[in-house]
A and B are shown apart, each in its own frame.
Chain A
Amino acid sequence: MPKVAIVKRELSKIATALAKVLVILLGLLLAATLTSIATGNTLKLISITLFQSFTNLNVFVYISTLLPTAVGLSLAFSANAWNLGAEGQLVFGAIGATFIALFTPLGRQEIIAPIAALIFASFLGALWALPAALLKMFRGINEALTTLLMNFIAYYVANYLVKGPWRGRTVYGYPTTDMIPIESRIPTAPGYSFSWYVVVACIAIAVLLYLFLYRTRVGIALRALGSSIHFVELSGLSSKKLFLIAFLISGALAGFAGGVKILVYHKKLVEGPIVGGGYGFTSIMVSWLGGLNPLFVIPASYYTAALYILSFGLQIGSAAVGDALSSTIVGFLLALILLADFLTRYRIVIRFR
Chain B
Amino acid sequence: MLVEVVKIISDPLVVALVLWVLGDIFVERSGVINLALDGIITAAIATAFVSTQNFGYLISLLITVTITLAFASLFMIFINILHAYHVLTGLALNILFYGLSALIGLRFQQSPSITTLNLNSLTLASISILTVALTWLILYKTSIGTAIRACGFNPRAAEHSGVKVWRIRFLASVIGYIAVGIGSYIYATVYRGGWSQYTGRGYGFLAITLAMASTWHPLLSYPITLAFGYLYTSIYSLQLLYGIPPDVINAIPYIASITIVTIVYSTPLHKKLATPRALGEVYFREERAA
B-contacting residues of A (Cβ < 8 Å)?
Answer: 6-8, 82, 84, 135, 139-142, 144-146, 148-150, 152-153, 156-157, 159-160, 163-164, 278, 281-282, 284-285, 288, 318, 320-321, 323-332, 334-335, 337-339, 341-342, 345-346
Contact = CB atoms under 8 A, between A and B. Distances in A.
Interface string B94-111: 111111111100100000
B81 A149 contact: no
Contacts of A282: 95
A288 B88 contact: yes
B115 interface: no
Nearest to A341: B84
Contact of A146 (B35, B93, B99, B258): B258
A8 B284 CA distance: 9
B82 interface: yes
Contacts of A323: 102, 197
Given A145-B209, A284-B91, A321-B106, A331 B99 contact: yes
Nearest to A327: B99
A153 B251 contact: yes
Contacts of A140: 265
Given A139-B266, A152-B254, A331 B98 contact: yes
B110 to A, nearest CB: 16
Contacts of B101: 324
Main secondary structure on chain A at its contact with chain B?
A: helix
A272 B262 CA distance: 26
B58 interface: no
Given A145-B212, A334-B91, 14 more contacts: A6-B284, A139-B266, A145-B208, A149-B254, A152-B251, A156-B247, A156-B248, A284-B91, A285-B88, A285-B92, A327-B102, A330-B99, A338-B84, A342-B83
B67 interface: no
B258 A338 contact: no
Nearest to B271: A140
Contacts, number: 143
A213 to B, nearest CB: 19
19 contacts: A7-B286, A84-B87, A135-B262, A141-B261, A142-B280, A149-B257, A149-B258, A156-B248, A160-B245, A284-B88, A324-B103, A327-B95, A327-B102, A328-B103, A331-B92, A331-B95, A332-B96, A335-B93, A342-B84
A92 to B, nearest CB: 13
B78 interface: yes
B205 interface: yes
B11 to A, nearest CB: 22
B250 interface: yes
Nearest to A326: B99
Given A152-B202, A331-B94, A320 B106 contact: yes
B255 interface: yes
B198 to A, nearest CB: 9
A141 to B, nearest CB: 5
Interface of B: 33, 35, 78, 81-84, 87-89, 91-103, 106, 197, 202, 205-206, 208-209, 212, 245, 247-248, 250-251, 254-255, 257-258, 261-262, 265-266, 280, 284-286
A329 B103 CA distance: 11
B262 A141 contact: yes
Q: Which 6 residue pairs spanning A and B have beta carbons closest together?
A: A331-B96, A328-B99, A327-B99, A324-B102, A334-B92, A331-B95
Contacts of B88: 284-285, 288, 338
B143 to A, nearest CB: 24
Nearest to A318: B106
A329 B99 contact: yes
A168 B78 CA distance: 47
Contacts of B255: 153
Nearest to A339: B82
A70 B143 CA distance: 44
A303 to B, nearest CB: 15
B78 A338 contact: yes
Contacts of A326: 99
A145 B93 CA distance: 16
Contact of A82 (B87, B89, B212): B87
Contacts of B257: 149
A335 B77 CA distance: 11
B106 A8 contact: no
A152 B258 CA distance: 12
A339 to B, nearest CB: 6
B91 A328 contact: no
A281 B245 contact: no
Contacts of A84: 87, 91
Contacts of A156: 247-248, 250-251
Contact of A148 (B35, B103, B247, B262): B35
A8 B286 contact: yes
B91 A285 contact: yes
A346 B33 CA distance: 22
Contacts of B248: 156, 160
A339 B96 CA distance: 15
